[in-house]
Chains A and B, each alone.
Chain A
Amino acid sequence: MSEQKFDRGHQLSIFVKDRNEDLMALLFAFLIAMSVLIFVR
């Protein structure tokens, strides 16, 4: 299955490395968890 080529990242990600995407997902999840813990009571 050939997929479209991109200058940076690939069809499933805007990141060049999957690890960068993982780190960003971890950061987002951390921010969401913190905001939930702070604002939801």
Chain B
Amino acid sequence: MVYTKKSPALLIIGFLLLVWGWLNANGSLDNLQSSLQKSAYSDYVKVNEKYQAELRVATEQAQSDGKPAPTMKKPHSKFDQEKEFQTQFCYIFGGAFTILGLVVLASKPKSGNVDYYLSTVPGMAFILLIACVVRWVLDPMFTNWGKAVQDAGTLSWDFAKIFNLNYVVMGILAGIVIVNVFKIPEWAANGVRTARLFLKTGVILLGALYSAAELAQLGALSVIMIGFFVLGSVWLVLIMGRRMKSPNSMTGVLSAGLGVCGVSATVAASPVVQAKSGEIAYTIGTILLWGVGCMFLFPTVGHILHMGPVQFGAWAGTGILNSAQVAGAALAFDPHGIDTLKVAEIFNITRVLFLPIIVLWLAAWFVKHEEGAKKVNLKQVVIAKFPLFVLGFIAMFALSSTGVFAPPGHYQGKYFSGAEVKEDKLLKPKEVRALEAELPKMRNAEETKALQDLVANRKLTSREQDNTLKAVAKIEGLDGVAAGAIANASKAAWHDSKIIKAFRDWLAWLFAFGLIGLGMQITAASIKQAGGKPLIIGSVVGTLKAVGSLIVVLMFVREFV
């Protein structure tokens, strides 16, 4: 059987990408890009103004010295980097697709592996083209729109943030719209089936974002609490699913999604329980829908109960299912501090580390219930069913913890290093004087020492000093310049690992690609067939988890975090 369809589609997609790259390179899209990439564009304006000012000073100096006008290299702004990335991306993929498109049209494919794998390329190019539209146009457009509506006072909240209208959701939605409204073209059908492969690659790379050192900040009791709620939720879904006679594949994938968190766990567990595309989408949809409600409810309950930042962070990180929505709720509760967000995210990512245990559990559970095995041989289950790519996730986490990608204590690539503070980021004399004047306001010896050290070094030297001075910056009546100096010193001492940032970028593309492809396999009929049971199970387990974790947090968190 010959799989490759003779179609000009691949050639056209390649050509479209080349055109976008070329228009970007010659600046024809600058107006559009500046309206989409607003924050990168404001960085460009700042960098440009600074460059022009420095050039003017240098030129005037050269003129007064009777020397020729100097030449200065224009620094790269984030806007330039984004444009450059898009151009290179389009040239590489556009060029490759154009060549392969010509090959598809000119060759006479014979049945075999070359034909089979070549037949996936047009579909992959189709998904990639949509991923470009989602990542470069729709995602920034909705982000800007959400902010604009909030700033104009039409809504008191950012709808794009609350409804999670980022590339993850929009990728799935784009896929669903395409398959249900236009149908998948025949030439793209095989390529759409590569979606899970790229989602798995993304899950492996996800391990690089975390490190054991950061998790070690949590007490053992916190880890026990997280483990209890993760494993408890999985157990509850499995029990309810069996009672409500939901298919084992649906129950299995839903338990992973509700127990651990969102997309990654759902993808990781799906092959183990042989979940179908509709079931994966249903699980992701249930989690995201539940999360939207939690984002509104959690901050309100937190304020009513007068929860502290650590308590609320622990609750949100345990009770809300999706990572982005955990961050959203933490920011809604405490928009100006980072303590809540940090605690919430650490609690949240600790759940991800239970992934291998859950996958193993589900593999054994599925063998027992689907294949009717009376006694499950765990060794055989591991050999036959355990997904190897989860080992890749563990390996990346281990490598990340040893400091191969970024200093071992990093968190999603962000790490503290006083030694790496650049000369031009040291505190200015005016800031140092303002800080010295505030020394009498210090409340204890620790704060006094932290501030004295900052004055002496003009930069922060340890994380403990950073934490102490963050509390100092909140002292009532503290001079604005001094508070600003503390914020500047903290900003200068925190760095973002370029390697982890590159992994984050890869992750975003892999997940965007995978989720668009996944969305393209979800028809209205498949969702209808899944019925309302998973939603009922999701709501019951989600509510129990939220209420249970609230009680535990209120009772214990103050003492052990």
A residues in contact (CB < 8 Å) with B? 1, 3, 6-15, 18-19, 21-26, 28-29, 32-33, 36-37, 40-41
Which residues of A are found within 8 Å of B392, using beta-carbon distances? 25-26, 29
Is B526 interfacial (CB-CB < 8 Å)? yes
Which residues of A are found within 8 Å of B193, using beta-carbon distances? 6, 9-14
**Using a CB-CB cutoff of 8 Å, which residues 339-366 of chain B contact chain A?**
none
Are the C-beta atoms of A26 and B389 separated by less than 8 Å?
yes
Q: What's the nearest-Cβ distance from chain A to residue B448, in Å?
A: 40
Which residues of B are found within 8 Å of A9, using beta-carbon distances? 193
Are the C-beta atoms of A22 and B506 separated by less than 8 Å?
no
Are the C-beta atoms of A11 and B277 separated by less than 8 Å?
yes
Partner of A41, one of B208, B247, B277, B498: B498
0/1 interface trace, chain B 170-198, chain A, CB 8 Å (1 if under): 00000000000000000000100111111
Are the C-beta atoms of A1 and B247 separated by less than 8 Å?
yes
Partner of A37, one of B1, B190, B277, B499: B499
Which residues of B are found within 8 Å of A3, using beta-carbon distances? 276-277, 526
Given contacts A8-B116, A36-B502, contact A22 B279 (CB under 8 A): no
A18 to B195 CA separation, bound complex (whole angstroms): 13
9 shortest interchain CB distances as A-B pairs: A25-B200, A22-B388, A29-B204, A22-B389, A28-B201, A36-B502, A40-B502, A25-B201, A18-B271
* A-B residue pairs in contact (CB < 8 Å), sample of 10: A7-B1, A8-B116, A9-B193, A12-B280, A13-B196, A21-B197, A28-B198, A33-B503, A37-B499, A40-B499
Q: What's the nearest-Cβ distance from chain A to residue B385, in Å?
A: 9
Q: How many residues of B are counted as interface, with CB atoms below 8 angstroms from the partner's CB atoms? A: 41
Are the C-beta atoms of A25 and B389 separated by less than 8 Å?
yes
Which residues of B are found within 8 Å of A1, using beta-carbon distances? 247, 276, 278-279, 526, 529-530
A1 to B521 CA separation, bound complex (whole angstroms): 13
Q: What's the nearest-Cβ distance from chain A to residue B244, in Å?
A: 16
Partner of A12, one of B116, B270, B388, B529: B270
Q: Which residue of B lies closest to A6 (CB)?
A: B193
Is B387 interfacial (CB-CB < 8 Å)? yes
Q: What's the nearest-Cβ distance from chain A to residue B268, in Å?
A: 11
A13 to B200 CA separation, bound complex (whole angstroms): 11
Which residues of A are found within 8 Å of B194, using beta-carbon distances? 14
12 additional A-B pairs beyond A3-B277, A6-B193, A23-B388, beta carbons within 8 Å, are A1-B276, A9-B193, A11-B276, A12-B193, A12-B270, A14-B116, A21-B196, A22-B388, A25-B200, A28-B201, A32-B503, A32-B506
Are the C-beta atoms of B200 and A21 separated by less than 8 Å?
yes
Partner of B499, one of A14, A19, A26, A36: A36
Are the C-beta atoms of A25 and B204 separated by less than 8 Å?
yes
Which residues of A are found within 8 Å of B396, using beta-carbon distances? 29, 33
Given contacts A3-B276, A25-B204, contact A19 B197 (CB under 8 A): no
Q: What's the nearest-Cβ distance from chain A to residue B47, in Å?
A: 21
Which residues of B are found within 8 Å of A37, using beta-carbon distances? 404-405, 499
Which residues of B are found within 8 Å of A8, using beta-carbon distances? 116
0/1 interface trace, chain B 92-122, chain A, CB 8 Å (1 if under): 0000000000000000000000001100100
